[in-house]
Amino acid sequence: MTAVKLPSDAEAAVATPEFEAAAIRQESRRGFLLAMPSYAYLVLFFAVPLVIVVVYSFATRNRFGGTDLSGWNLASYARLSEPIVRDILFRSLWLALLTTLICLVIAYPFAYYLATRTPVVRNLMLVFVMIPFWTNFLVRNYAWRVILGNDGPFTDVTEAIGLGERELLFSKTAVVLGLVYSFLPFMILPLYAAIERIDKRLLEASRDLYASGWQSFRKVLLPLSMPGVIAGSILVFVPSLGAYVTPDILGGSKTTLLGSYIVTQFLTARNWPFGAALSFVLMAVMLTTTVVYFRKGGRTL
């Protein structure tokens, strides 16, 4: 009978503040121990690297392509105002913005349609949005390279409809097309989640009160789905701004964007401090948009 040690009745019955505090402390320690390995891992292999990038962005590139960490300066950030760099920054911002807008225009009606289907149809439709979402990113971009390439299906189509042989590959249009293709699911999913959450009776009420379809969209549906619009826009805008694979495969050398420019600094130009400064700019944009999102009461999806 002594094999199982039961807590004595007195111990369990008297829930003194001390007893409770000790129990809470013990729980807290358990939680911390569980989180500990990942916590330590992420500090070492994520937070520390993040700090190193910031430190590098203040360093100087020496004559041999190495980096001198002594003597911090803002030279790398000053270079951001150089015409070439400014062009790249503005081009990236513009193309990322354009991608976001196009995704929004395509995804909004799609998400609304999705949200008004019956559950069975809806789940099926969602599954077919998820499949490209998880399909190999590189391969999906490569597919467009094949389609838009020399004598590929795209030129077949333009010739057939009498537009002549059009060359779309290695242009900004091709890059935006690739980006929209890559990130459209990122827009559809949060928009759908937001629209689905809306009480549909509000839309009915607005129509009952003689709002036109447009007014009901503008004054009821759109404001209520705003969290989804913002979340989707961030999820498309940030990766588009930092895109590297898509512009590299579809844009060629003429349309350098921020992502590819950063890579060049590390793998070819060997100017690590400048590359680190550019990465920091990208990171700052990401953090700002995310913080704004959460301040506005956004929620994780």
Partner 1 sequence: MSKLLDKTASRTAGSAVEPHGWTKGVLLANGWLVYAFFYAPILLLVIFSFSDSRNVGVWGGFTLDWYEGFVDSRQTQAALWNSVKIATVSTVVSVVLGTMSALALERFKFRGKQVFDALLYLPIIIPDVTMAVMMLLFFAEFFDVLNAVFGTELRKGFSSIALSHIAFSISFVSVVVRARLAGMSSHLEEAALDLYATRWQAFRFVTFPQILPGILGGALLAMTISLDDVVITQFVTGPGWTTLPVYVFGLIRRGVTPLINAVSVVMLMASMTLVALSLLVERVRNVGTNQRRGF
Tell me the C-alpha distance between 43 and 47, whole Å: 5
Nearer to partner 1, 75 or 147 (CB): 147
For residue 152, state whether it binds partner 1 (rule: CB under 8 A): yes
Which of 15, 138, 222, 292 touches partner 1 (CB under 8 A)? 138
Provide, rounded to whole angstroms, the least separation between the CB of residue 220 and partner 1.
Answer: 10
CB 87 within 8 A of CB 258: no
Region for residue 87 given its phi and psi (left: phi exceeds 0; alpha: psi -120 to 50; beta: otherwise): alpha
For residue 213, state whether it binds partner 1 (rule: CB under 8 A): yes
CB 144 within 8 A of CB 177: yes
Which residues in the 236-265 window bind partner 1 by CB under 8 A? 238-239, 241-242, 244-245, 248-249, 259, 262-263
Which residues in the 9-48 window bind partner 1 by CB under 8 A? 24, 27-32, 34-35, 37-39, 41-43, 45-48
Which of 60, 255, 271, 279 touches partner 1 (CB under 8 A)? 279
Q: Is the dihedral of CA 244, 79, 62, 254 positive or negative?
A: positive
Per-residue mark of binding to partner 1, 91-130 (x: CB under 8 A): ---------------x--xx-xxxxxxxx--xx-xxxxxx
Provide, rounded to whole angstroms, the least separation between the CB of residue 132 and partner 1.
Answer: 5
Q: Which range in 70-78, 87-95, 222-230, 233-241 contacts partner 1 by CB under 8 A?
A: 233-241
Distance of CA 208 to the CA centre of its chain: 39
CB atoms within 10 A of CB 298: 17
Provide, rounded to whole angstroms, the least separation between the CB of residue 59 and partner 1.
Answer: 10
Tell me the C-alpha distance between 286 and 14, whole Å: 52
For residue 76, state whether it binds partner 1 (rule: CB under 8 A): no
Burial per residue of 201-225, b for 16 or more beta-carbon CB atoms within 10 angstroms, e otherwise: eebeebeeeebeeeebbeebbeebb
CB atoms within 10 A of CB 88: 20
Provide, rounded to whole angstroms, the least separation between the CB of residue 110 and partner 1.
Answer: 5
Which of 80, 98, 282, 298 touches partner 1 (CB under 8 A)? 282
